[in-house]
């Protein structure tokens, strides 16, 4: 009788299994805790994906979209309470609270594990547990790193297959290397009161419960490639950053690469896929996409920083994506795309606010669309799609050595004060410019939208350790033998008195990027101010741009009084980190404050 009960309880196993003892033991221990009905080792094959998709279509997790207009594409409607990252439920569990810093929610590792393991206990009963080996970065790249995510969500498996190099090749690398980041995920009951995203950087471990949303559930993305990787990067001398990477090819055929940090839902995907304005296109300018969200950079033998995109796909914001804002994205998502929380047209095409054509008849919750009840698509509705489908995807995106970075750009969403662009005087000043970043909050995280907050280097939600140590790590790159790129700050979001954006943005941003690259080459002019070097109107190529003189004036003005107040508030922010804040950064702050005068 007993033997029979044990037989029934033992989960059926499908897929390869592993020869790596530490991985096999971990999977076994997770199964003992979560008690799934079955275990499947994912190989990433087309057949496996087709079977998962069929299962999800049958149970309503995925809804087939119009096969003619959107072949191979699906709609997923998440639970209405599970539509964004949950920063208030995201923890970094380090032995010492100070190692996580005031920028993170902290719990002791023992308490974190106890709390999570209580949630995971028996949570996969009746479900299949999927084991997903994945690689962040080109599979042959030394800069790439591997992880294994265990999840009970087939939606997560399908998304991880697009967003990472997932399956057999990753498993072979893991078995060869022996080490990997451990991620355990369950959608649980999708109850916001039983939802936590916990990181244990010292153990290279992630535990996530109660959400199926991208940033909370696709553990290769923010949890691994930023929070855990930032910790690894600090130990090993590299940088894991919330940055897009793009290549700009000039008419001479030379391509220079820029890494740019912006907070979530501030246009990283649009900038990474930029289409040059007509005048530039005619002359032969081209823009190449390497990545739209995450950048891993490390010094090469020549002292330059080399970057890879650890991801293999885009998890982009759908609303606002249009033929004007991002035609490359529209072309990318025409097939084989998973849409989450968009609306539907009468003929089953995906629809979101800002799309130029079509009419919604069903909203993201699955109700008849009624504009008085809010938008058709959730403001944080997303598409998941392979980067390979992007018309501007760079052939160098798969280079194992990465691409050399010629300029680093920081940018926030700032309605006032912050000019269109300025250049930091040197690396230390540039680190201060990154630390000073502020931005208005967006729908990518739950909570109020449009509130200004400090978001250093766009890493506030993603740095897996104390920001004071993070700034010190950035400063440490300025050493003999390094050929560091210049650092810039941009603001596409400045508004006039009438509340309208002053800068046209989108493709026209190339004008600013051209100035940035010319500065990097020592070719473009600027005026020096206490906050850095600003272009004069003559220093920018504004040919063919219809921009009113007063708007341009505002965009390029340095407002001394406004910056004094900004630097007072920045000083108070840096002080929150106490003695751990590097003196060099405080000194740099002091230098700018005295240059601003009283
Ligand atoms: O939700 S994600 O974290 O994956 C995207 C984002 O907010 O940047
Ligand atoms: Mn992001």
pLDDT for the residue 421? 98
Residue nearest to atom 4 of ligand 1 (CA): 215
In the structure, which protein residues have their CB atom closer than 6 angstroms to any atom of ligand 1? 85, 214-215, 221-222, 264, 315, 444
How close is the Cα of 163 to the center of ligand 1, in Å? Answer: 12
Query: Which atom in ligand 1 lies closest to the alpha carbon of residue 445?
Result: 7
Mean pLDDT throughout 581-591? 98
**DSSP secondary structure string for all residues of 367-431:** SBP-GGG--SS-TT-EEEEEGGG-TTB-GGGG-TT-EEEEEEEEE---SSS--SEEE-SSHHHHH
Tell me, in angstroms, the distance from the centre of ligand 2 to residue 263's CA: 7
Residues 161, 368: Cα–Cα separation, whole Å: 32
Position in ligand 1 atom list of the atom nearest CA 293: 8
pLDDT in tens, 7-36: 457 899 999 999 999 999 999 999 999 999
- State residue 5's pLDDT score: 47
Contact status, residue 258 vs residue 250, Cβ threshold 8 Å: no
- pLDDT given at position 61: 98
User: Could you say which ligand is closest to the alpha carbon of residue 85?
Assistant: 1
| Centre of ligand 1 from the C-alpha of residue 362, in Å | 25
Rounded distance between C-alpha atoms, residue 177 and residue 165, angstroms: 16
What is the full DSSP assignment across 36-63? -SEEEE----HHHHHHHHHHHHHTTSSE
- For residue 598, the model assigns a pLDDT of 78
For ligand 1, pick from 212, 264, 461 the residue to mutate: most ligand atoms within 8 Å of CB: 264
Q: Kindly indicate the confidence band of residue 390, based on its pLDDT and cuts at 50, 70 and 90.
A: very high
State the Cα–Cα distance between residues 410 and 425, nearest whole angstrom.
14
Backbone angles phi, psi at 12, to 5 degrees: -70, 135
- pLDDT score of 8: 52
How far is it, in rounded angstroms, from Cα 326 to Cα 273? 7
pLDDT in tens, 91-110: 999 999 999 999 999 999 99
pLDDT at 4 over 50: no
- Residues whose CB is less than 8 angstroms from the CB of residue 3 and which lie 6 or more positions away in sequence, other chains included: none
Over 50: is that where the pLDDT of 1 sits?
no
What is the tens place of the pLDDT at every residue in 267-282?
A: 999 999 999 999 999 9
What is the CA(53)–ligand 1 centre distance, in A? 23
Rounded (5°) CA angle 404-137-334: 100
Protein residue with its CA nearest to atom 3 in ligand 1: 215
User: Average per-residue pLDDT in the chain?
Assistant: 97
Main-chain dihedrals φ then ψ at residue 302, nearest 5 degrees: -90, 5
Distance, CA of 309 to CA of 226 (rounded, Å): 12
Question: Does residue 6 have a pLDDT over 70?
Answer: no
3-class DSSP state of 468: helix
The predicted model gives 324-340 an average pLDDT of 97
Q: What is the pTM of this model?
A: 0.97
Q: How far apart are CA 590 and CA 595, in angstroms?
A: 9
> In this predicted structure, what is the pLDDT of residue 19?
98
> In 3D, which of 293, 261, 160 has the Cα closest to residue 490?
261
For residue 135, indicate whether it is catalytic. no
Category of 291 on φ-ψ map: left (φ > 0), alpha (ψ -120 to 50) or beta:
beta
* Distance of alpha carbon 544 from alpha carbon 277, whole angstroms: 9
Phi/psi for 250 (5° steps) reads -90, 175
Distance CA 243, CA 409 (A): 9
Q: How many helices (H) and strands (E) does the chain have?
A: 18, 30
Q: How do 338-340 and 350-351 pair as beta strands?
A: unpaired
What does the radius of gyration of the chain's CA atoms come to, in whole angstroms?
24
CA angle 170, 171, 172 (to 5 degrees): 90
Average pLDDT over residues 242-257: 98
User: Which stretch of 5-14, 42-51, 327-336, 349-358 has the lowest confidence by average pLDDT?
Assistant: 5-14
Q: How many CB atoms lie within 10 A of CB 373?
A: 11
136-145 burial, b at 16+ Cβ within 10 Å, e below that, comes to bbbeebebbb
Q: How far is CA 5 from CA 1, 128, 540, in A?
A: 6, 19, 75
Task: Give the closest residue (by CA) to ligand 1 atom 5.
Answer: 215
Spell out the domains of the chain, with CATH numbers in brackets: 12-61+87-236 (3.40.449.10), 240-311+394-557 (3.90.228.20), 314-389 (2.170.8.10)
Cβ–Cβ < 8 Å for 205, 147: no
* Cα–Cα distance for residue pair 586/598, rounded to 1 Å: 18
> Probe ligand 1: pick from 185, 444, 458, 464, max atoms within 8 Å of CB?
444
Measuring from atom 8 of ligand 1, which residue has the nearest CA? 264
> Which ligand does the CA of 243 lie closest to?
2
- Looking at all shown ligands, the one closest to residue 84's CA atom is 1
Q: Which ligand is nearest to the CA of 444?
A: 1
Residues of the chain with pLDDT > 70: what percent?
Answer: 99
* DSSP string for 120-142: HTTTTTTSEEEEEEEEES-TT-S
CA distance 270 to 283: 22
State mean pLDDT over 443-450. 92
- Residue with the nearest Cα to atom 1 of ligand 1? 215
Considering the candidates 266, 295, 390, 463, report the single residue annotated as catalytic.
266
Distance, CA of 500 to CA of 482 (rounded, Å): 42
pLDDT of residue 3: 44
* Ligand 1, atom 6, residue with closest C-alpha: 264
Mutate to test the pocket of ligand 1, among 213, 315, 317, 449 (most ligand atoms within 8 A of CB): 315
Residue 2 has pLDDT above 70, yes or no: no
Three-state DSSP class for residue 85: strand
**Concatenated DSSP letters for 204-270?**
TEEEEES--SHHHH-TIIIIIIIIIHHHHHHHHT-EEESEEEEEEE-TTS-EEEEEEE--TTSSHHH
If you measure from the C-alpha of residue 270 to the centroid of ligand 1, how many angstroms do you get, rounded to a whole number?
15
Q: What would the pLDDT profile of 280-298 be if each residue is shown by its tens digit?
A: 999 999 999 999 999 999 9
């Amino acid at each position: 009788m007993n033997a029979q009960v044990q037989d029934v309880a033992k989960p059926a196993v499908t897929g390869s299994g592993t020869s790596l003892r530490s991985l096999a033991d971990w999977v076994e221990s997770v199964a003992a805790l979560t008690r799934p009905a079955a275990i499947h080792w994912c190989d990433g094959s087309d057949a496996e994906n087709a079977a998962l998709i069929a299962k999800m279509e049958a149970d309503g997790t995925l809804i087939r979209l119009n096969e003619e207009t959107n072949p191979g594409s699906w709609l997923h409607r998440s639970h209405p309470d599970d539509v964004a990252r949950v920063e208030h439920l995201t923890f970094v569990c380090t032995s010492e609270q100070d190692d996580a810093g005031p920028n993170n929610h902290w719990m002791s590792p023992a308490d974190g594990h106890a709390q999570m393991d209580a949630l995971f206990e028996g949570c996969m009963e009746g479900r299949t547990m999927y084991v997903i080996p994945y690689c962040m970065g080109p599979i042959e790249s030394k800069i790439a790193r591997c992880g294994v995510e265990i999840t009970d969500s087939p939606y997560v498996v399908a998304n991880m297959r697009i967003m990472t190099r997932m399956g057999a090749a990753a498993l072979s690398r893991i078995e060869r290397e022996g080490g990997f980041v451990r991620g355990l995920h369950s959608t649980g009951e999708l109850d916001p009161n039983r939802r936590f995203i916990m990181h244990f950087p010292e153990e290279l471990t992630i535990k996530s419960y109660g959400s199926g949303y991208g940033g909370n559930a696709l553990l290769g993305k923010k949890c691994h490639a930023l929070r855990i990787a930032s910790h690894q990067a600090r130990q090993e001398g590299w940088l894991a950053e919330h940055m897009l990477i793009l290549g700009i090819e000039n008419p001479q055929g030379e391509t220079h690469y820029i890494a740019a940090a912006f907070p979530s839902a501030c246009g990283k995907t649009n900038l990474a896929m930029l289409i040059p304005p007509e005048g530039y296109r005619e002359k032969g300018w081209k823009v190449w996409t390497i990545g739209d969200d995450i950048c891993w950079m490390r010094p090469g033998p020549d002292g330059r920083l080399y970057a890879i995109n650890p991801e293999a796909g885009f998890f982009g914001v759908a609303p606002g994506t249009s033929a004007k804002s991002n035609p490359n994205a529209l072309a990318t998502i025409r097939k084989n795309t998973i849409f989450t929380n968009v609306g539907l047209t009468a003929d089953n095409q995906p629809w979101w606010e800002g799309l130029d054509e079509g009419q919604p008849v069903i909203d993201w919750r699955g109700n008849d669309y009624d504009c008085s009840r809010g938008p058709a698509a959730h403001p944080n509705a997303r598409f998941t799609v392979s980067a390979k489908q992007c018309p501007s995807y760079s052939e160098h995106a798969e280079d194992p050595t990465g691409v050399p970075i010629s300029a680093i750009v920081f940018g926030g969403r700032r309605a006032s004060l912050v000019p269109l662009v300025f250049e930091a005087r040197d690396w230390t000043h540039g680190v201060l410019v990154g630390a000073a970043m502020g931005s208005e909050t967006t729908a990518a995280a739950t909570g109020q939208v449009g509130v200004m907050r400090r978001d250093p280097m766009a890493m506030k939600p993603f740095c897996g350790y104390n920001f004071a140590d993070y700034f010190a790590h950035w400063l440490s790159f300025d050493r003999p033998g390094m050929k560091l790129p210049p650092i810039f700050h941009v603001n596409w979001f400045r508004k006039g008195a009438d509340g309208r954006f002053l800068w046209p943005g989108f493709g026209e941003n190339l004008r600013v990027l051209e100035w940035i690259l010319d500065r990097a080459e020592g070719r473009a002019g600027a005026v020096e101010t206490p906050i850095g070097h600003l272009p004069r109107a003559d220093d920018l190529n504004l040919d063919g741009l219809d921009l009113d003189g007063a708007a341009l004036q505002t965009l390029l003005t340095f407002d001394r009084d406004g910056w004094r107040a900004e630097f007072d508030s920045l000083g108070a922010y840096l002080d929150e980190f106490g003695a751990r804040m590097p003196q060099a950064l405080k000194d740099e702050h002091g230098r700018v404050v005295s240059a601003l005068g009283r």
